Structure 1
Amino acid sequence: MTLTLRRPTDAEYAAWSRVALEEYIDEMVASGSMSRRSAAEKARTEDAELLSAGLDTPGQLIFRVEGDGQPVGWLWFGLQQPKREQGVGFIYDISIDEAFRGRGYGRAAMKAAEEEARRRGLTALVLNVFGQNAVARSLYTRLGYRETSVQMRKEL
């Protein structure tokens, strides 16, 4: 398998942006952390702040993930994590299209992200993952990512 990261077209970015926003809202709701209305408000606010200039937002890298020449997913990471720790990037989104899952593209895309981060002088990458996403959590652990904090919730 040959995996490449490329800059998406404006049309691809526009389509991804809408889908990624909805998926983020769905994940927040599924986690039980907030209502759909609150999740939508949070997602839209974060999106406006983090991607204020879309694809051209300084410090934000959005890639179309291609496997063997065909689009298979997306990768978005920032060159600085939200806590502003020097040299540490933040993976905001990695998604492999459902038809291509289970074929190693997620692992390969994460490795490509790490390579790109190193090339740009970063010394670490950080990410958040929703507790209910067992497949992603397992992948990240196998790739050497470790838990640094865990947030828990109980409904009363």
Structure 2
Amino acid sequence: MMLMPMTAADFQAFAARSVAGYARDIARTYGLSEALAVESASADFNDLLAEGLDTEGHWFYCLCIDEGVEVGSLWVGVVEDPPLPARLFIYDLEIHQAFRRQGLSRQALSAVEAWAIERGIRRLELNVFADNHGARRLYETSGMAVCEITMGKDL
């Protein structure tokens, strides 16, 4: 798995997919209308990425195999919150639909781990929605463990 830096055009397409996917997740999880979910997801995205593709501390990659065949996308950022150790946070990891169920997510996670280790980062974190059982299984079998749980109840 190769991590190829996104171009400006790649980033525009990624941003649209990322916001739409996040909006679907929060609409489903929190019972928001599609419009409100898109508004919330867009606000979160823009707050984190004030400078878009050039936002310091954030990296964006096209995930590629073989001779540059793009199979997905990746957004990572370094989080520094002393006294906690610096950690690499996976904001978005997506394998395109046509390439799913082929072990590519696991390969992408291995590439992310190598990327972090090369930069002296020894902790990897991410958030996953509770109903995303496939992703949770992938992360657990890749050695990740729950370190926080946010619980909620509709009233």
TM-score by length of 2: 0.90
- Matched residue SS, 1:76: strand
Matched, 1:137 2:124: no
Query: Cα offset for 1:25?
Result: 0.6
State the identity %. Answer: 35
Secondary structure at the counterpart of residue 86 of structure 1: coil
- The CA RMSD measured in Å over matched residues stands at 1.7
Greater shift, 129-138 or 38-47, is seen at: 38-47
Q: Which residue of structure 2 lines up, in the alignment, with residue 5 of structure 1? A: 3
Q: Are the equivalent residues in 2 in contact too, given 1:61–1:78 (CA < 8 A)? A: yes
Amino acid at match of 1:154: K
In the alignment, structure 1 residue 123 sits paired with structure 2 residue 152: no
Give the structure 1 partner of residue 61 of structure 2.
63
Residue type of the partner of 1:149?
Answer: E
Q: Which residue of 2 aligns with 1:21?
A: 19
The Cα offsets for residues 78-131 of structure 1, whole Å up to 9 and x where unpaired, read as 0116x5633212110000001100101100001101110111111101100001
Other structure's SS at 2:101 match: coil
Output the amino acid matched with 2:104: Y
For the pair 1:48 / 2:46, whether they are aligned, the reply is yes
Distance 2:34 2:88 in 1: 29
Partner of 2:110: 111
| 1:43–1:10 Cα change, 3 Å | same
What SS is found at the alignment partner of 1:79? Answer: strand
Structure 1 stretches lacking a partner, 5+ long: none
Equivalent pairs counted in the alignment come to: 153
1:24/1:43 contact within 8 Å kept? yes
Alpha carbons 1:79, 1:117 under 8 Å: kept: no
CA positional deviation for 1:52? 1.5
Is residue 60–residue 77 contact of structure 1 (8 Å, CA) maintained in 2?
Answer: yes
